[in-house]
A and B are shown apart, each in its own frame.
Chain A
């Protein structure tokens, strides 16, 4: 009998503890009971995100714990918007465009995060909502928190009419010039200036290609992605040499006046032809940069460098000397201008609950979310005052400075003919030049120009 009583009380105790552990307590679950409710608006918002991490995890390189978006929203969004339910769908970057286009057309997503060029293409297809009416009536939304250059000029957020705002910038594509101070010293070459010209880069790269005078190892003057999807190096050169490539507007493709065989474009191609001799052979396939930001680096100048590998290597090894050795500079264009990529959040034209979608979109692009993304996944912010950026991340500081002065160009991945034909043509030229078989530049550009004119005529 005694035994039975003892057993009963044990079972009761277990039950009491289990119920206490399972009970839902807003204070304990979110841990943010101090957060004030922003809106009691009701609704469900379906968000499709290309590449974002939804669950908690561990950074494979640094071993740091990362907080997934689900957890972040539970802690930060739900207490502020208790009646808005956010349904998240993660879309892998591979073939993200096709999958998200299908979601937009079938009405399965209200808010989307994707690549800038994809967003522009959806805008052109009439699949996105103009955000201006929502921005105008929302006093709490401040567009000034974003980098002005990105907010006003990026093709991935604003339409070619320069009025319609279809996206909010949230992730910056990072591109600065990087150089290895140690290699420069070993070769006895002056470090790069803060806004190097294409000529300076070429002459210094030439001096540092060959056997290193100190180590005897093979060094390469420079590296860039020879099969790049957006040819950011050629775009930076076009800024530097004043090559417009075309005149007109991207929403009037048939009226584009191509200037692809202009003397300025010839200078771009001549530069690329010579530069291809100072890069490791594998650069034509986007390889050859494996040792960059490591102690064994063999590349003196790295064009359109993100600096991401450097920070990862530093965080992994805690080796401060790496941060001192690899330095960033502005890009090659006037004042250091270069091509800047921006990935935005956009809203589907047929979003089911527009007001709730707008609240979610605002939250996912605000200061706190950008800080969360930087802290956890090293995503570059698009904010004018990104004071949370690690002061040691000199590359990101430089890239934000480049983004501040960015101006639109028609040689942008948002331009369909640039993406489908001009980029592959330039990449093909680079690989021929790297193999000593570069075609005559003027006739090459004349042919590209002729084909571009024919394409525009067909639009």
Chain B
């Protein structure tokens, strides 16, 4: 009996596939569709449609009247051979990668320090480090143009003057401008990253630390061999989000460097290039082509990072 029932069970999946019955929409299904409809309509109307419209536009003649003649890959060819675009991409990568590396490392160290602080101090430090995150990027940029003022009247140069350092052109000298933007970004993003890491740190099981302590592990060993591996997925998430945000950099560099990305084009980023062509020169074809190229670059970067993360997990 048992054998018969077993064999009937083994053929059941194929039996299930055979009858092609029309599935009726139940009330429950309808409710599900109704609940998800606003989001789907929103995504289709405000994300999918603009993306398709932009893709179509990128294959059309660039200036003047919209909806003009098809030009094939001409806009893409223009962007890919424009040295201003490649300089913009280089600047974007330079500032993006530096911000991500320094941002993730510093905020992780900071989160670990706050996590190990006395409980009553934890909230205090969380609040202090998170404060810059609530300041708008416009206000931050204006604030930093004065902090980084390229004479002794700037706060940072004034302090450096005590040590005999001559005033540096933080935002006005091409050698320092990109690093200065990274420093400004770190000031703003550190708090947010720290809060995320702090939340993640609480998820590490205590018994792992206790077992390590029994084996005589130092605090550094516990941090290096338990905390970091355990938080690898969070670190990866922060790197990916940080990279995407870095690739989209616009407001701060535009406010500080203008449309030229002054000084010497060092603050010209990919999005600034798109803005310049789209909204100053009304060359929507070129702007949308550049947007798609940037989209592909971000997509490739994200895939590479996710693959790398999967491989590391497997190892």
Contact = CB atoms under 8 A, between A and B. Distances in A.
Contact of B280 (A420, A434, A458): A420
A459 B84 CA distance: 19
A229 interface: yes
Given A284-B172, A424-B268, A419 B78 contact: no
A29 interface: no
B263 A432 contact: yes
A285 interface: yes
Nearest to A436: B173
Contacts of B256: 285
A45 B138 CA distance: 35
Nearest to B175: A435
B260 A431 contact: yes
Main SS at interface, chain A: helix
Which bracket fits the contact residues of B?
Answer: 35 or more
Interface stretch (B60-68, B89-97, B203-211): B60-68
B282 interface: yes
Interface stretch (A121-129, A337-345, A400-408): A121-129
Given A121-B282, A431-B260, A431-B263, A287 B65 contact: no
Nearest to A283: B172
B151 A282 contact: yes
A14 B74 CA distance: 76
Nearest to B173: A435
B264 interface: yes
Main SS at interface, chain B: loop
Interface string B114-157: 00000000000000000000000000000001000111000000
A121 to B, nearest CB: 5
Interface string A220-252: 000000111100000000000000000000000
A417 B286 CA distance: 12
A285 B172 contact: yes
A95 B250 CA distance: 14
Given A424-B260, A427-B262, A434-B263, A458 B66 contact: no
Interface in B256-285: 256-265, 268, 276-277, 279-283
Given A124-B64, A229-B258, A458-B62, A284 B263 contact: yes
A287 B151 CA distance: 12
Contacts of A455: 78
B259 A281 contact: no
A416 B283 contact: yes
Contact of B281 (A95, A226, A287, A417): A417
Given A229-B258, A281-B169, A285-B171, A424 B64 contact: no
Given A281-B172, A282-B149, A124 B282 contact: yes
Contacts of B259: 227, 229, 423-424, 427
20 contacts: A97-B279, A117-B280, A124-B282, A227-B259, A282-B171, A282-B172, A285-B145, A420-B277, A420-B280, A420-B281, A420-B283, A421-B84, A424-B84, A424-B276, A427-B262, A428-B264, A432-B263, A432-B264, A434-B172, A459-B63
Interface of A: 95, 97-98, 117, 121, 124-126, 218, 226-229, 253, 280-282, 284-287, 416-417, 419-421, 423-428, 430-432, 434-435, 437, 451, 455, 458-459
